[in-house]
Chain A
Amino acid sequence: MQTHDLIEALAADTGRVHAHALERRLALTALGGAAVALALVLAWLKLRPDLGEAIGGGFFWVKALYTGALGLIGVWAAARLARPDVSPRPALLIAFAAVAAFEIVALVQFMPMDAGTRMAALRGVSWQVCSRNIVILAAPMLAMSIAALRWMAPTRPMAAGFAAGAFSGGIAATVYGLHCPEATFVFVGLWYTLGVAACGVIGAIAGRLALRW
Chain B
Amino acid sequence: MDELETQLKRLMLSGLDGDAVAHRRLLSLLSERLRPYFTHRMSQAPSDVEDLVQETLLAIHLRRESYDRTQPLTAWVFAIARYKLIDHWRRRKIRTTTPLGDVEAFLAADTVASDDGLDLTRALASLPPRQRSLVENVKISGLSLSEAGAKAGVSEGAAKVALHRALKLLAERMRHANA
* Least Cβ–Cβ distance between A114 and chain B, in angstroms: 54
What DSSP secondary structure best describes chain A's contact surface? Answer: loop
Q: Count the B residues whose beta carbon is within 8 Å of the partner chain — how many?
A: 53
Q: Is the CB of B16 within 8 A of A3?
A: no
Residues on B lying within 8 angstroms of A by beta carbon are 15-21, 23-24, 27-28, 31, 50, 53-54, 57-59, 61-69, 75-76, 79-80, 83, 87, 114, 116-117, 120-121, 124, 135, 138-140, 142, 144-145, 148, 160, 163-164, 167, 171, 175
* Least Cβ–Cβ distance between A190 and chain B, in angstroms: 36
Segment 194-209 of A: residues with Cβ below 8 Å from B: none
Q: With a CB–CB cut-off of 8 A, which chain B residues contact A5?
A: 139-140
Q: Is the CB of A213 within 8 A of B142?
A: no
The answer to whether A1 and B63 touch (CB under 8 A), given A8-B142, A13-B164, is no
Segment 7-31 of A: residues with Cβ below 8 Å from B: 7-17, 19, 21-22, 25
Q: Is the CB of B117 within 8 A of A2?
A: yes
Q: With a CB–CB cut-off of 8 A, which chain B residues contact A1?
A: 54, 116-117, 120-121, 124, 139
Residue from A14, A15, A213 with most neighbouring chain B CB atoms (10 Å):
A14
- List the A residue with the shortest CB-CB distance to B138: A12
* Least Cβ–Cβ distance between A79 and chain B, in angstroms: 10
Chain A, interface residues (CB within 8 Å), range: 20 to 34
Q: Is the CB of B120 within 8 A of A83?
A: no
* Least Cβ–Cβ distance between A82 and chain B, in angstroms: 6
Q: Is the CB of B120 within 8 A of A12?
A: no
Q: Is A133 an interface residue (CB 8 A)?
A: no
Cross-chain pairs A/B with CB under 8 angstroms, 6 sampled = A4-B114, A7-B24, A7-B57, A9-B138, A83-B67, A155-B83
Q: Is the CB of A152 within 8 A of B18?
A: no
What DSSP secondary structure best describes chain B's contact surface? Answer: helix
Residues on A lying within 8 angstroms of B by beta carbon are 1-17, 19, 21-22, 25, 82-85, 151-153, 155, 212-213
For the complex of A and B, 6 pairs with smallest distance between CB atoms: A84-B79, A11-B24, A14-B20, A5-B139, A16-B18, A85-B79
* Least Cβ–Cβ distance between A211 and chain B, in angstroms: 11
Q: Is the CB of B27 within 8 A of A11?
A: yes
Q: With a CB–CB cut-off of 8 A, which chain B residues contact A25?
A: 65
Q: Is the CB of B18 within 8 A of A151?
A: no
A153 to B148, CA, bound (A): 30
Q: With a CB–CB cut-off of 8 A, which chain B residues contact A212?
A: 87
A85 to B83, CA, bound (A): 9
Residue from A1, A5, A21 with most neighbouring chain B CB atoms (10 Å):
A1
Q: Is the CB of B65 within 8 A of A152?
A: yes
